[in-house]
Amino acid sequence: MSFEGQHILPAIRSMKDFDKMLETSFQYGVFLDLHVGMLKSVFEYARNENRKMFLHLDLIHGLSSDEYAAEYVCQEIKPYGIISTKGNVIKKARQKGVYATQRMFVIDSSAMNRSIELIQKTDPDFIEVLPGVVPKIIKEIGTKTGKPIFAGGLIDTVEEVEAALEAGATAITTSDRVLWKHFDR
């Protein structure tokens, strides 16, 4: 799946960040670090602004990141997608018809192999690879899983974005507004 040519997925940590995203042409993004009490209003606001937002479920304050929380969020909040490191959350999001992104931290070959095994069990729509500054790993994970890849974490320059995209990443998740501006259409 492509994001209509959008290569940056703005990672939103505050409403100020979201307001800055609204000044761009980006239609897709990721909400991080929200309080559970804000979820409904924030997603209603995003829908009113025609934005399709993923929600990083593991980073919601006041909500456990388990399959029950995923079920609640999918049914009541209805995000465009869910991001999580937890396999049971990914499975529940898929069951509820919400795009599911398995986040994986590649710290060594053992962690990568465990993550690939989990991905084979959960069958997410997307994989987010952190850190995203290792093109060799992006290419390898894409080849082994056949899934679209988001690269995130430690990407600070235009050259790093381009290297990740060249290695096969579908999109880059970043909170860096300088990169947003550079890649805004």
Position 124 scores a pLDDT of 98
All structural domains of the chain with their residue ranges? 8-183
Position 2 scores a pLDDT of 75
DSSP-assigned letter for residue 19: H
- CB 28, CB 183: distance < 8 Å: no
- Per-residue pLDDT of the chain in tens (185 residues, 90 and over written 9): 679 999 999 999 999 999 999 999 999 999 999 999 999 999 999 999 999 999 999 999 999 999 999 999 999 999 999 999 999 999 999 999 999 999 999 999 999 999 999 999 999 999 999 999 999 999 999 999 999 999 999 999 999 999 999 999 999 999 999 999 999 98
The CATH class, in words, for 8-183 is alpha beta
Q: Please count the residues of the chain.
A: 185
pTM of this prediction exceeds 0.75: yes
Partners of 127 in beta bridges: 102, 149
Residue 127: closest CA among 114, 113, 142, 137? 142
Q: How far is CA 24 from CA 6, 27, 46, 107, in A?
A: 11, 8, 13, 33
Position 1 scores a pLDDT of 64
Output b/e per residue, 63-91; b: 16+ Cβ within 10 A: bebebebbeebbeebebbbbbbbbbebbb
